[in-house]
Amino acid sequence: MKESDEFLILQKYFKNLGSQYNDSSGIIVGPGDDAGLFSTNKLDLIFSTDVSNSNIHFPKSLKPELIAYRACSVAASDIPACGGTLKWLSISLVSPTTDLAWLKKFAEGLKLFTSDYKVPVIGGDLIKGRECSVSVGVCGEVNKKDFLSRGGAQEDDLIFISGTLGEARLGLKVLSSKKKNLSKEEKKYLKKFLKPKVHTSLGKNLQNIATSCIDISDGLLGDLGHICNQSNKGAEINIESIPHAGPFQDALTWGDDYELCFTAPTNREKEINNLAKSLKIKINKIGKITNTRVIKFYNGEKRVHLKQTSYNHFKK
């Protein structure tokens, strides 16, 4: 097979990724035609796209299978943040090379993701470019009455987050250090950056509990800000209640953790605690929604002012 033959590469390495899940995802026609064809179970569809670029979202030297897996994870995270069930992915790759070994490894990363989350790839595109860039489209299903938006938070709602913030930031530092003999904690941080968990079960179970939800991609400060802005509300946060690893301000502003931040009425707190136990995940109450239109952080009763802001691609 010629390394320059785009269509043979697609046919050999990318055509049947996750195809064993086509029936359960409603895919009728997958990769190979001008477009994919799929059916739905009379539910409403969620669609989102995410782009991962070399030296912005991941190191240029990262292994192709890890680039692929990570790109899928960060894109798919939007679906459970809306209370949906992930149905399929569409992958468009700008490859920095025509080397077949590199492309094969990239496809293996996609295959592992489809296996872990039991979701197929419906199609995509492949071109050669100067730098690696991966665009992932994700489709999910949800009943529109169960859709979790960012704009539903109400005054006195409690604010919760899953997991521990800051671990992905530490994982990137471990990766950049090129250290070989890693401790158990360092391995955990590295995995958090390379293969962030997609909270499929949590998102679906929050459908009738949460009033708003968002995945923490750009840092808690900014992402909670999106909830407050779209809900026309503010928030009071107790920093002592936020589980974090590494420097506190990095944990709040760096992002890449892909945990869920959500709000819920006070009378649902016990239900949320029981949900955390049943899913065997950590969920912490960190504050409450206010009518102030401002996010305030407190350490005990003392207000804390943060100097850093969340990640923004266009920040000068």
Q: Quick: pLDDT tens for 36-51.
A: 566 777 788 889 999 9
pLDDT band at 280 (very low <50, low <70, confident <90, very high): very high
Average pLDDT over residues 119-129: 90
| Per-residue model confidence (pLDDT) at position 209 | 97
Pick the CATH number of 6-146 from 3.30.1330.10, 3.30.499.10, 3.30.1490.20, 3.40.50.2000: 3.30.1330.10
Q: Which residues are annotated as a binding site for Mg(2+)?
A: 34, 48-50, 78, 125, 215, 218
Average pLDDT over residues 197-204: 97
Q: Which residues are annotated as a binding site?
A: 34, 48-50, 57, 78, 124-125, 150, 215, 217-218, 256, 311
| Per-residue model confidence (pLDDT) at position 43 | 82
| Per-residue model confidence (pLDDT) at position 161 | 98
Residue 73 predicted with pLDDT over 90? yes
CATH assignment, 158-304: 3.90.650.10
Range with the lowest mean pLDDT among 51-65, 272-286, 294-308? 294-308
Radius of gyration of the chain (CA): 20
Predicted confidence (pLDDT) per residue in 129-147, tens digit: 999 999 999 999 988 899 9
Q: Which residues are annotated as a binding site for ATP?
A: 124-125, 150, 217
| Per-residue model confidence (pLDDT) at position 310 | 54
Phi and psi at residue 284, to the nearest 5°: -120, 140
Residue 173 predicted with pLDDT over 90? yes
| Per-residue model confidence (pLDDT) at position 200 | 96
Domain residue spans of the chain? 6-146, 158-304
Q: Are 310 and 250 in contact (CB under 8 A)?
A: no
Q: Which residues are annotated as a binding site for substrate?
A: 57, 256, 311
